[in-house]
Structure 1
Amino acid sequence: MAEHQKPRRRQSERAKSTRQGIMSAAGLVFEEKGYEGAAINEIIEAAGTTKGGFYFHFPGGRRDLAAAILDSTLTREGLQQQELKLQEVVDTGAILAYRITQEASLRAALRLSLHKNARDTYGTPWPKWLEINTAQLTEAQHRGEVRAGVSPSDQAYQIAGAWAGLVLVSEAVDGHFGNVEERVAKMYMNLLGSIAHPATLPEIDFSTDRGRRLYTAFLDRQNSSPPSNTA
């Protein structure tokens, strides 16, 4: 039985590799040309696949592809439970700030998520991120980390808007993403400085390289995990 499973496993691995190759190529095209300017044929050529292979994985074309990129990149991978809930708030944005310097697909996802027709075309993750940040801030307030009278939902909007705007403005001003991590760290320091309990603020790590450290540690754990036995 194990021998019969090997061809299926290889086929599954090839399909997964093809799908990932299409998404990586699409990330570059979406990043450069946006949703409306991204041509399917250009993505197919960049991915080194066929038209049939493309539509096998993304039958809805560009719409399904954009949704898949958003779903696979705007994640919370690398985030770990912390003693302070406000630290998790910072870590959420710090990890994404690091990843956006490394991953074209994530940069494309940010632009796709802010497209004026995103909600009605392929979906947008911002409502979910607002929910996540609101839950984090609510728990932090219950623990006494956030001052009484602060509205977690209002602050969640402040954080989401500040993060996205800062990343895009930073690129527009500098022409690159090299300063994003430092600016995001300062952004969190400024925003939380107005809502955190005075005794809590000094305990939060706003280090510029925190997102990189957390995410690379996550990747190291993933790479060191033993493969599952599918035989």
Structure 2
Amino acid sequence: MAKQDRAIRTRQAILEAAATVFDERGYEAAKLTDILQLAQVTKGALYFHFDSKEDLAHAVIDAQVSTAPMPMPQVSKMQEFVDIGMVFAHRLTHDGLLRGSVRLTLDQGGHELNRSGPYREWTELNLRVLNEAKECGELLPHADPQEVAPLVVGSYAGLNLMTQALGSNRSEMDRWASALYRHILPSIAVPAVLAMLDMEPGRGARALEAAGAAEAAAG
């Protein structure tokens, strides 16, 4: 068991180091030697877990959704929908693995990489919650979850690209995410539901804190 735990920690250290290097340099400029140095592991340890730089990059991309902490389920499904995005925006400031994964999904280099996974998974997650909101009567009759979900996911991708191009701090995404919801939700959410939603900057941090407190109380 101790050997297995050590292997898990080593793999995670490699993933986090790779994410940092990919975030700073992009896929093509990233070197395995820099990842090894940052992770403080041997080349043999890296190749035990990953076959190549491409394989490592795909693992970082896949971690974007699979390891993402999720906000608590809410009575209001529209609040839950908002929380998914606001937590994502908050984590961009604090989570190096997420930043590296996002950089890879937006990076124009490394054409051999399959970047479609996170887009599909985030869209499916948002679509599921929006469908639940529709069933609960929280969406206006014309609002189509099949249109709204990819629209929001695509907007996040565009905002990430814009903040990178402008050299803005990643913390700006929290403000932009809040603005995105404040402009979109009035056109799709029932007014009574809209009036109760927390879309303000900092909502992601508050939602994660509440989820952590609930998990600690349950444990």
What residue identity is the alignment partner of 1:132?
L
Counterpart of 1:20 in structure 2 is 12
Normalising by structure 1, report the TM-score.
0.84
Pick from 196, 206, 230: which aligns with 2:189?
196
1:62 & 1:153 partners in 2: Cα distance?
A: 35
Name stretches of at least 5 consecutive residues in structure 2 with no aligned partner.
none
CA distance in 1, matches of 2:218, 2:139: 37
Aligned-partner Cα distance in 2 for 1:202–1:189 = 11
2:191 match: secondary structure:
coil
Change (3 A) 1:202 1:174: farther
RMSD: 2.3
Larger Rg: 1
* Equivalent of residue 124 in structure 2, options 117, 128, 131: 131
CA separation of 1:221/1:145 partners in 2, compared to 1, >3 Å: closer, same or farther?
closer
Indicate yes or no: 2:159 matched with 1:170. no
Percent identity over the alignment is: 34
Q: How does 1:17-96 map to 2 (within 5 A)?
A: 17-59=9-51, 61-75=52-66, 76-96=68-88
Aligned length: 217
TM-score for the superposition, normalised by structure 2: 0.88
Judging changes above 3 Å, is the alpha-carbon distance between structure 1 residues 11 and 64 closer, same or farther for their aligned structure 2 residues?
Answer: same
1:148 aligned partner, one-letter code:
P
Report the Cα offset of residue 178 of structure 1: 2.4
Give the number of the structure with larger relative contact order, counting CA–CA contacts within 8 Å between residues 6 or more apart.
2
* 2:101 matched residue in structure 1: 109
Aligned to 2:147: 154
Structure 1 unaligned blocks of 5 or more: 1-8, 227-231
Residue type at the aligned position of 2:139? V
Q: Which amino acid aligns with 2:129?
A: Q
Counterpart for residue 141 of structure 1: 134
